[in-house]
């Protein structure tokens, strides 16, 4: 499948998209023997010979992670304001990115991966992948308001398609609902309840498609199991990768967030190429990530599920 060249470089773990654009402009990237310097060129990495500094592009091993995002972290790969991001919690050598979003004040299940096709299908509304939330609202909405939410309130000029919404219990502060939707507009659940006059006090995402948060503590993450991976791929209409092609998931392997709040808020360190751009046939070498992979595995805490 053809994709923009800078996206392909990012997916293969070469650099971030912004850094990949710098590599292209510097003349360090070639496609089928021709140096490419302009942005927007579309390539098929399965059929074309793509090289950086004269060395062929090697596919990065696919990685699929579940994270229990805590409150206080933003769902992005990096933040110019130095705020804590979800990638400060996940220490892996692969360049994973979040699939979808959870706002800073929300918590719950977040999938991270370096599989661009899967991320696209998880986040695009046409594939109608369900997301389930447990939501505490301020107050006790009457049945008429609940029915209004079921029919679909209008937010931002468009109705919110609610699959189901049910009150499951009450607390001192208000009512707890279980909400299932398949769209992913920014803060859509919060905006939906605010629209009917009941602001959200707490929001936890408990499920994405077939994946559930069960047993994972805030700040902890783990690889998907083989069964979870197969179920997720089928849920979005993709053929699951052959056994052994992704990194094997292991139930119960997770890393809880440290008391200090994870890694420093400066964001995830970037992997860059050494040396200045000298054209596509430069002798500079791509970085060896084997040592990084061993270090990344060593930092994780292994626990039985």
For residues 116 and 100, give the distance between their C-alpha atoms in angstroms, rounded to a whole number. 12
Are 51 and 9 in contact, with CB atoms under 8 Å apart?
Answer: no
Active site residues: 103
For residues 164 and 245, give the distance between their C-alpha atoms in angstroms, rounded to a whole number. 36
Question: For residue 255, what are its two tokens?
Answer: 């890393």
Are 208 and 224 in contact, with CB atoms under 8 Å apart?
Answer: no
Question: For residue 62, what are its two tokens?
Answer: 């696919």
CA-based nearest residue to 66, from 211, 180, 243: 211
For residues 64 and 62, give the distance between their C-alpha atoms in angstroms, rounded to a whole number. 7
Strand 131-138 and strand 174-181: the pairing is antiparallel
């Amino acid at each position: 499948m053809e994709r923009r060249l800078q996206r392909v470089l990012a997916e293969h773990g070469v650099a971030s998209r912004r850094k990949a654009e710098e590599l292209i402009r510097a003349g360090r990237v070639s496609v089928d023997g021709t140096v490419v310097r302009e942005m927007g060129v579309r390539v098929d990495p399965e059929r074309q010979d793509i090289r950086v500094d004269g060395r062929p592009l090697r596919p990065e091993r696919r990685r699929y992670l579940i994270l229990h995002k805590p409150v206080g972290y933003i769902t992005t790969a990096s933040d110019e304001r130095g705020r804590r991001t979800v990638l400060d919690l996940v220490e892996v050598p692969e360049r994973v990115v979040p699939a979808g979003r959870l706002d800073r004040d929300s918590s719950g299940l977040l999938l991270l991966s370096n599989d661009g096709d899967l991320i696209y299908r998880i986040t695009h509304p046409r594939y109608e992948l369900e997301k389930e939330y447990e939501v505490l609202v301020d107050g006790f909405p009457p049945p008429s308001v609940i029915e209004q939410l079921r029919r679909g309130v209008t937010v931002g000029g468009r109705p919110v398609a609610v699959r189901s919404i049910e009150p499951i219990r009450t607390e001192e502060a208000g009512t707890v609902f279980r909400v299932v939707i398949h769209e992913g507009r920014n803060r859509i659940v919060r905006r939906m309840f605010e629209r009917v006059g009941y602001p959200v006090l707490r929001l936890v995402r408990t499920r994405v498609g077939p994946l559930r948060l069960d047993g994972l503590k805030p700040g902890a993450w783990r690889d998907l199991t083989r069964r979870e991976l197969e179920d997720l791929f089928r849920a979005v209409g993709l053929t699951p990768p052959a056994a052994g092609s992704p990194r094997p998931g292991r139930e119960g392997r997770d890393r809880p967030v440290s008391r200090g709040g994870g890694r420093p808020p400066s964001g995830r360190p970037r992997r860059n190429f050494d040396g200045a751009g000298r054209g596509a046939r430069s002798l500079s070498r791509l970085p060896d990530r084997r040592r990084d992979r061993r270090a990344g595995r060593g930092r994780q805490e292994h626990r039985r599920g």
